Amino acid sequence: MAMMRLRREDPRVVGTFRLHRRLGAGGMGVVYLGSDKRGQRVALKVIRPDLAEDQEFRSRFAREVSAARRIRGGCTARLVAADLDADRPWFATQYVPGPSLHDKVNEAGPLSPAQVASIGAALSEGLLAVHDAGVVHRDLKPSNILLSPKGPRIIDFGIAWATGASTLTHVGTAVGSPGFLAPEQVRGAAVTPATDIFALGATLAYACTADSPFGQGSSEVMLYRVVHEEAQLAGVPDALAPLLASCLAKDPADRPSTLSLSLRLKEIAAREAHGPSGGPLENGSGAGTGWERAERRPSDRPTGQRAEEYARQRTERRTAGTSSPRPHPSRPSAPRDSLSRPAGPASAAGKNPRKTGGRTGRRAPASRPTGRNGSRTPVRTTSGGRRPGPDRRLLRQRVIVFVVVTLLVALGIAAAQGCQGPARGLGVERPAPVAPSSGDVDGPYGVGEQNP
């Protein structure tokens, strides 16, 4: 519900309630958001000054407030307090958070058949409690239905009619909203619970089509259509069209009773809330009320590229549970030596065997030895992935040993080449070196040496 700042002419305190915001204004007065000393929030309506001066209105208003106190039902906003003797009479009801049905449809478009049937069933139960208290709402419309997290709530009993009360509706004068008024209200006849049934049928048709069943136009045009023309239900789903048509009958006697309407809407809601297979559909928010239940049918499943993408994602998620996980940098594990270690049994985790180094082995158990620092170096495989490799420190040691051995071998070869010749046997002395002469040539044992 939209909130606006208080205007200069708006009161700041009414009774024991402090006013904070404007919630809206209607034909009866202005509605404010207020709170009491305990912090309880209320919707407080202050009656217009011109109506406050009408003694007939004050008398009827007093009887309506008295009747509203008797209403017991979860689908109505509970009356909290009222002052009938104030200069401007007021009454406060429980504040209901959530958008109105009018705003919900205006922003999100028409509702699904299951949602409409669920809302209608809840509202029918609320009207049943209202009618049992001897009250007729007379102004049931989408803007007077709030969709709270706990289900729809009926608000604004400002022009409700209580049993035994006189009416301010004279011949030729209608109190209510054009397009949602019953024909007897337009004619100025007596109102009955069937009057609210007509308004509820028009409200549910609006939820299905985002438009009044009597179209758009001036107040005179709309009132004429209500009395003389049939409701247009072309956009209403087949599951609801016959029932709503009976609610919009011109003769109040042809409309279903509040209890019968509630039972039939519950049956439709239960049938529409299940798919063709009979299983429950996915549930959305709404705290079990069903008015925000998701409508996922088999026909709504993705097709084409979306279906292929969905199948691919399902395959990846399914294979993710059987493939071995990638090593975490901060999680040491045992190195693998696929060339020297024979293939062993599967690990306790039940992983699938993997091909390493041309041989088929299995993941090493957690008890196998690791490197000195317990870490593993990722090594690329032929498949493009990464697997744990030898310890970096161990590789460096191996490289150093290889370099040292290579140097020693090279030095040994150089020392052997520096000798004049190989020993012929034990105890054989080498001949004394001879000073080089001009006739000497390079031999196989070094520069300046003579051939033996």
* Bridge partners of residue 447, in order along the sequence: none
Q: 254: which DSSP letter? A: G
139 is catalytic: yes
Structure tokens at 311: 């199948």
Task: List, as own/partner pairs, every contact residues 251-255 make where C-beta atoms lie below 8 angstroms and the sequence separation is at least 24, other chains included.
Answer: 252/182, 252/184, 252/192, 252/194, 252/195, 252/198, 253/194, 255/194, 255/197, 255/198, 255/201
113-132 and 193-209 are packed helices; what angle lies between their axes, rounded to 10 degrees? 160
Q: How far apart are CA 379 and CA 168, in angstroms?
A: 89
Q: How far apart are CA 154 and CA 265, in angstroms?
A: 17
Catalytic residue chosen out of the listed positions 36, 83, 139, 440: 139
The beta-strand segments (E) located in 10-165 are 13-14, 17-25, 29-35, 41-47, 79-83, 90-94, 135-136, 145-148, 151-154, 161-162
- Specify whether the CB–CB gap between 29 and 47 falls below 8 A: yes
- Specify whether the CB–CB gap between 10 and 25 falls below 8 A: no
Structure tokens at 95: 């504040």
Q: Per this entry, what is the length of the chain? A: 452
The beta-strand segments (E) located in 232-333 are none
- Specify whether the CB–CB gap between 402 and 408 falls below 8 A: no
DSSP string over 344-392: -PPPTT-PPPEEETTEEE-PPPTTS---SSS--EEEE-TTS-EEEE--H
Question: Given the DSSP bridges, would you call strands 354-356 and 359-361 parallel, antiparallel or unpaired?
Answer: antiparallel
Tokens 């040993």 map to which residue?
401
- Specify whether the CB–CB gap between 148 and 95 falls below 8 A: no
Angle at 198 between CA 143 and CA 248, to 5 degrees: 120
Positions annotated as catalytic residues are 139
